[in-house]
Every structure is written in C-alpha cells, then in structure tokens.
A and B are shown apart, each in its own frame.
Chain A
Amino acid sequence: MTVSKEKILEYLTEVKDPEIPVLDIVEMGIVRDIVVHNETLKIDITPTYSGCPAMKLIEDQIIAELHKKGFDDITINTVMSPAWTTDWMSEKTKQKLKSYGIAPPGRLSDDEFDPLNYVDKEVDCPFCESNETELKSEFGSTACKSLYYCNNCCQPFEHFKCH
C-alpha cells in the first residue's frame, strides 16, 4: 500500500481540536510534517501552548484515526520550533471560528504588543459585527482566548488571541 502525504493530511482532517470542535488539527496548524515510508508513518505535531492539555488526546486520536485507515506503524513526534502561531490559520478557518461565535485573531504583524501596557484594539463582535466591544479579561476558557463583551448586542464572546 502506497499512500501520499496529501492523503494522510486528508485523513487527519477527521481529527478535531478537542477544545474548538469546528476546527480540525490540520487547519489549526498542529500537524507540521508527515513522512510516509512504505507502511510507516512519521507525524510531527506542535502544541499551540506549552501547557496545552489536549496534546495527549490529540495524539491518541491521530493514532485511532489512522488505525481505522489501516496504519499500525505510526510515530508521533512533538516539535517546538517554529513556535505555533495563529498566522497559520487561513482566512477560511478564521471565518469558521467567527461562525462558531469566536472572534478570530488578526495578523501577528498588525498586533501592537506592549508587554507592560494593554493596547486597546478593535475586536468586532462575531454576532452583530459591532466594534462597540470591550475586553473583560485577557484569559478566557482556554489560554488561547480572551473574554470580550459587546455593548451593542449585549452578549459576551470570546476572541482567539493573536499568538
């Protein structure tokens, strides 16, 4: 059985991010490389955050998914560099986040970051598009999201931080 790297990538789109189930691990940028050698697969993955509690689960799910497709010899390797960034998400992926109710991240290069001062930035409400929103906390239900409130439609929402 010879299989292309592209085919494996396609299989891996079946593995969803456990914390944001509308996105799969390929569009999240967690899968970094795939080496196919005969029936042996080597897959490099990278954690979104150092302490991401979902990494073990993701590894188990990759193995289970590929097992279903007939692969038994799978090695998963965790790579740290280059560090994961939200810039690896495509525009299409960001749209999916928005329809799911999470305001998507902007481009890292446009993000003015001062580690000693919060710089107010415009984050549009994913529900009503209003820019009348305010930051409530830089840390949300997971480290990758911050908490906002929309003063127009009066709903709280999460923003995927630029990272």
Chain B
Amino acid sequence: MISNRDSKTGQALFEYLLRLGDDRLVLGHRLSEWCGHAPILEEDIALANIALDCIGQASNFLSLAGKVENKGRNEDDLAYLREAVDFRNVQMVEVPNGDFAHTIARQFLFDVYSYPLLDELQKSADGEIAGIAEKAVKEDRYHLRHSSEWVRRLGDGTGESHDRVQNAFEDLWTYSEELFFTDEVDDILVAAGIAPDLALIKKAWEEMVAKVMKDATLDIPGNDRYMAQGSRNGRHSEHLGHLLAEMQIVHRSYPGVKW
C-alpha cells in the first residue's frame, strides 16, 4: 500500500493523520483534567472513559502517521516530542475546560463532527485508516449520545444551566468554522478516495446541531463573529503550549523511562 503511493499523497496523508490524531490527543488530555473534579462521580468516570477512547484513537492515528512518514517516529515520539507549531489539532479542543457546561458543549460540537467523519472514513481507500475508523466510530456513537443528552438536560434544565450552556456555545462558536477548513491536503486525499469531502460532514454536523439545540431550547449562535483559523497549519492559541508542557514533561525529563 505504502509502496505505490506517490510522495505528494504520502505527505498529504501524513498531515491528515496528524490532524485526526492531534484533535483526539489534545481533547483526550483536556478531558482527563476532569478526573477527580467532575460534578458527580458518574460523570467523573464517563469523562475519564471518553478521554481514554480519544487517547487510544489518537495513538492509532499517530502510529499510522509515523509509519507513513517513514522516518522512524512512533506515536510516542509524535505525541511527546513535537512543539506546538507542529500540532495540527483544531483550536476548539485546546481551549481550557471552563465549567461543566463548557466542557459538554465543546464535546458535543466535536462529537457531531467526529462521528460522521469516522463513519465516512470506514470507507477509505486506505485500509489501515478504514480499520482504525471502524473501531473508533463504535466508540464515538457513545460519546455523541452522552454529550447530546447532556446538552438537552442543561439547555432544558434550570435557568442557570440554560444560561451557562448557551454562553458556552456562544464562546465556542468562534472555533466552529475551523472544523471544516480544507486545503490541498484534503483535495489530494478526497481525489484518492482516502478522505471524505468535509462539505458532506458539515451538512451532517449542521443538521445534528440544529436538532439537538432545538430540543435543548438553545439558540444557535450566529456566524457574524470572529472565526478562529490557522490551526490546521500550526497556528494555535497560547493554551496549547501550556497544555503540551504539562502533557510532555515526564517523557521529556526522563527519556525512555519505563514503569
């Protein structure tokens, strides 16, 4: 499979796998910060479980990225030894957790993007990506059900929970457009049948967001605001550097440590 791939497709595939892997790695790390701090025990366990799924999916995508790159880097090298500018995740996943409503709103906006994306990736012309997606989509359907049920409960709950989750959506909307950013990486891979057209995913995303937010008695924020951009090419908020410092310190301080 790798042998008959030309270098341009190989380079695009490496970039694409970093986008898939880094979204889930950074989100998984943010979710893990809730461990021991969630409002109720069941949610503490749920968020830790979802974090673990995200990190596992990231490990699979980054391991494949290392193979495609063919420079001897494994998933740990890619997770722990890159700088912020080399990360390809969207800014939405790197923003601090905020309150529980903010974490749930972010998770929901990401899940409604990730679930249809992974569903389409099961049909990828690249068998290894399809295999990772086939497993991951089964996990994501549980993540999405968890976050969408919570959006309804918070939105249609008390006055305070409604306001908090509405504010969270207003804050996070700035980061929504980036999910659907495309460049030549997508063009090459869509043409090769490896990646789906993000326009299709966007349509599914908009429909699901509209449905759940309506049930939740929430207003969909308008698009007439500043929209974050650039993170798929390495331009991030200041938050990512701080997150990476914490995530990478043990690996960098004790290279090759085992326990």
Say if the beta carbon of A49 comes within 8 Å of chain B. Answer: yes
User: Could you tell me if B56 and A52 are in contact, using CB atoms closer than 8 angstroms?
Assistant: yes
Chain A residues lying within 8 Å of B148, measured Cβ to Cβ, are 115-117
Contact of A80 (CB < 8 Å), options: B45, B54, B135: B135
Chain A residues lying within 8 Å of B60, measured Cβ to Cβ, are 50, 80
Contact of A51 (CB < 8 Å), options: B54, B128, B138, B144: B54
User: Could you tell me if B53 and A80 are in contact, using CB atoms closer than 8 angstroms?
Assistant: no
CB B161 to nearest CB in A, in angstroms, measures 18
Which of A33-41, A91-99, A134-142 has 4 or more CB atoms under 8 Å from chain B?
A: A134-142
Say if the beta carbon of B55 comes within 8 Å of chain A. Answer: yes
> Roughly how many angstroms separate A81 CA and B145 CA in the complex, as a whole number?
24
Asked whether A139 and B135 contact (CB < 8 A) given A50-B57, A116-B212, the answer is no
> Roughly how many angstroms separate A117 CA and B52 CA in the complex, as a whole number?
23
Question: What is the total number of residues of chain B having a CB less than 8 Å from a CB of chain A?
Answer: 36
Say if the beta carbon of B141 comes within 8 Å of chain A. Answer: yes
Say if the beta carbon of A114 comes within 8 Å of chain B. Answer: yes
> Roughly how many angstroms separate A13 CA and B69 CA in the complex, as a whole number?
38
Say if the beta carbon of B35 comes within 8 Å of chain A. Answer: no
Say if the beta carbon of A70 comes within 8 Å of chain B. Answer: no
Say if the beta carbon of A53 comes within 8 Å of chain B. Answer: yes
Chain A residues lying within 8 Å of B138, measured Cβ to Cβ, are 83, 163
User: Could you tell me if A51 and B52 are in contact, using CB atoms closer than 8 angstroms?
Assistant: yes
Q: Mark A9-40, 1 if CB is under 8 A from B, else 0.
A: 00000000000000000000000000000000
CB B203 to nearest CB in A, in angstroms, measures 16
Given contacts A80-B134, A116-B148, 16 further A-B contacts (CB under 8 A): A49-B53, A49-B139, A50-B53, A79-B131, A81-B127, A81-B130, A81-B135, A82-B134, A84-B135, A113-B141, A114-B145, A115-B145, A116-B212, A138-B46, A139-B50, A140-B45
Q: Can you list 20 A-B contacts with CB-CB less than 8 angstroms, sorted by A residue number?
A: A49-B139, A51-B55, A51-B59, A79-B131, A80-B131, A80-B132, A113-B141, A115-B115, A115-B140, A115-B141, A115-B144, A115-B145, A115-B148, A116-B208, A137-B43, A138-B145, A142-B49, A143-B49, A147-B42, A163-B138
Q: A: which residues have CB within 8 A of B?
A: 47, 49-53, 79-84, 113-118, 136-143, 147, 161, 163
